[in-house]
Every structure is written in structure tokens, then in C-alpha cells.
Structure 1
Amino acid sequence: MSRTHDHVTIHPKILYFGTPVALLSTENEDGTTNLAPMSSAWALGQAVVLGLGADGQTARNLWERPDLVINLPSADQWPAVERLAPLTGRDPVPEHKRDTHRFEPGKFAAAGLRAEPAELVRPQRVADCPLQLEARVVRMTSDSHADYVIVETEVLRVHAEPAIVVPGTQHVSPAAWRPLIYNFRHYFGLGPELGHTFRSETAAADMASV
């Protein structure tokens, strides 16, 4: 396929150019678990960095209680994620969300998801998610306009469905794991594999399982 080198200058309202969706479990003041979808995250080593709206219940909880679970849904779970999207754990609802969101304390039930206890942190895990990362905040900072917070977390424990683990290893299988991707406010799954980096430790095992 030929490509032109001509480009146009655009000014997108958002820059969600494609990141995995996560459901963040955090602890409310009364000890219950708040559950919220988010899609601005990146991982390096055992650290996961999150970008959150500054006025949401998730950010408020993490400023005061640093435990969380980063639950990663599969692509076919997008309807549950979307059921959470218009809900907020803040009461009263922040002014700029009042036309689009409603307060809902029972997020798990509203989304049709099941809760289960975590092992090392206080908030509950999402039992339905194939990958669950128990984590703790190590640093939080506000962006230059105070609209967002950047949350650096340390992952303490990883839970994975056996079906997405390469047998006999500690590796998640890229051939089996199908994350949900949020791309400019639309939900996508993964397409066919195009190849793998020379650093891959799962390529041979994944090919053997095909």
C-alpha cells in the first residue's frame, strides 16, 4: 500500500490514540470499593503510571488511601465497561459531569461484575477480569493545569486466568490474551499478530500452541 507524505494540521479534542482499558478499584472512606474505568496508563517493569481526572472519586480515594487494583478486562467485556462509564462515585456529582453522569455507589452490581477480595491491598478485585494487578501508590502529582493527576504505582501481585498464561511459565501469552483497547473513544480488540520483537520470551511457546 502506497502512502502519501502530505499531512494536514489538525487539533483533536482528545489524544486517546490507543491504550488498554483498566477498571480501577479504590477504597472509599466508608471501606467500600469504588470501581471506575480509565484508559490512560503505561507500564515499565513493576511500575504502572496512571492518568486520572483530578475531581473524580478515584483520585480522591488515592490521595487518602494508596491501595488499588488495576483490573484489565478482555475485549468482549466492553459492554460492562460502558455501563460504568456514565457513573460516578462522587456525591454530589461534580458540576461539569451533572448532565452526563449520575452518582452510583454500587458500581459492581451496576456493571454486572463480581467482586472478590484482594490479597495484599484493601479494595476488591474484579473477579471477571482475566488480569488483576494489586498495587500501591508511590507518588501522585497534579498536571500543570490541575485538571489531572499522574499516579505512579508499584504492582505488588498479579492474578491471571490460567487460560492466558503460557504453561509452565510466569508469562502472559500474547496469543491468548485479548485486551480491550480504547482508541479515540471507541472500543477495539487486537487484530492478527504481525510479528514479535527479538526480545520476546513467549514467541516459541505461543507458536507451539497454535
Structure 2
Amino acid sequence: MSSAFWLGWRAMLGISAKSQSTRNLLRTGEGVLNLPSDTMAPAVDRLAMTTGSDPVPPGKLRRGYFHVADKFGRAGLTPVPSETVAPPRVAECPVAMEVVVEAVHPVAEADEQLRGGIVAVEVRVQRVFVHEELRLAGTDDHIDPDAWRPLIMSFQKFYGLGPQVHPSTLSRIPERLYRGPDIDRARAVPVKAVTPGR
């Protein structure tokens, strides 16, 4: 995935239309967005150059990619059953979001060479899981921005966040005033039965 941004309980995922992850997401209509911390860079990097596609597509083969069936094992991460979707979450990721696909938007359709190669997938969050140490003291639904240190990739290199550079006036607005109907929808989604071995 090359990019992601959030608007409330929705996210837009910029991703190759030809990747196995995209095919899985579009085939099942659901997934998990596991957000690693900056301390997880080695585990994430162990997944570089790997693909779930078998055989490896020619374009990825030219770049040196190879097939890995067990990406959890390769990365040294732990799968945890999800509550509302089939794919597992990553136990070590401080933030994980179970999502369902709402829409798929083609990107670069006017360009003959790029047409069909990139999509923006709109997903709706159904569940959010946060490690306790990231919660703002005294709350059960707020992230402490000083505790959250996401892993960021910039120009194919790993980075984290630095300290806050200036207080934000917008941060004084209570978060509840931004909430839309998706949070109520998420609360109403039933927990799925877990299939052993998934």
C-alpha cells in the first residue's frame, strides 16, 4: 500500500490494483489495517520483497520479490482473531482497525499506460483495537498523541515522529463533535464466530 488517510471512521487506501492484498480485499470485502509503531520497523522490513502471489507476477519477479505463504511467521508477528472480519489482526501492532470495503475508485484512468493499475479503496472502520499504553489517561476512547509513535515510510525509508512542534487550537474541540454515524454503525456490528486455525 502506498498511502492511507482517514476521515472519521473511513479510510482511503492507495494501492496497486494488481497486488494480492488488493485482490483479497476486493474479493472478501473486508480486511484489517494494522498500524505498526516505529519500533516495529525490523518486523515490517522482513516482509519487504515478499508477495502472497504464487507464482510471483513477472513485474515483481523482475524487482526481486519472492513468494511467502506465512507472512506472520516471516515477520515474527502474532496473528490474533478479529471480531468482525475474517483476516486476523497483528497482536504487536499498537493500533488495528477491522474494516469493510465501501467503494473502489480507479486512479489514472485517463492515462493509457497506468489505467487499471492503481485504485483508491474506501473502507469503513468497524472495530478499533488500541494497546492500553496509547490511551489518554482518564479516557477509554482517546489516543495520547505523545504516546503514539507510528512507523512512517517516506521515499521507501522508515521514520517515526518527533515531538509536537506547536500546540493546536483545533485540539481543544471535543472529539465527539466530529463524530458521524459510522461510529454507531460500528458499535452495532456483531462479533463473528472465530474459525480455528485462521
Give the alignment partner of residue 180 of structure 1, picking from 126, 143, 151. 151
**Residues 88-103 of structure 1 correspond to what in structure 2 (within 5 A)?**
88-99=51-62, 100-103=64-67
Query: Residues 79 and 193 from structure 1, CA distance in 2 versus in 1: closer, same or farther, beyond 3 angstroms?
Result: same
Moved over 3 A (4+): none
Moved more, 38-47 or 192-201: 192-201
Query: Residues 201 and 177 from structure 1, CA distance in 2 versus in 1: closer, same or farther, beyond 3 angstroms?
Result: farther
After superposition, what is the alpha-carbon deviation per residue over 1:89-135, rounded to whole angstroms, capped at 9, x for unaligned?
01111111113100111000011110000011110000000000111
Q: Which runs of 5+ in 1 are unaligned?
A: 1-37, 203-210
**Residues 33-72 of structure 1 correspond to what in structure 2 (within 5 A)?**
38-72=1-35
Following superposition, the deviation at residue 191 of structure 1 comes to: 1.1
Following superposition, the deviation at residue 201 of structure 1 comes to: 4.7
Question: Residue 41 of structure 2: SS of its match in structure 1?
Answer: helix
Give the alignment partner of residue 139 of structure 1, picking from 103, 109, 116. 103
- Structure 1 CA distance, aligned partners of 2:156 and 2:172? 32
Question: Residue 170 of structure 2: SS of its match in structure 1?
Answer: coil
Instruction: Find out whether 1:128 has 2:128 as its counterpart.
Output: no
Q: Which runs of 5+ in 2 are unaligned?
A: 110-114, 174-198
Higher helix share: 2
Q: 1:160 maps to which residue?
A: 130
TM-score (norm 1): 0.76
- Structure 2 CA distance, aligned partners of 1:126 and 1:118? 9
Give the alignment partner of residue 190 of structure 1, picking from 137, 161, 165. 161
Question: Residue 193 of structure 1: SS of its match in structure 2?
Answer: coil
Percent identical pairs in the alignment equals 42
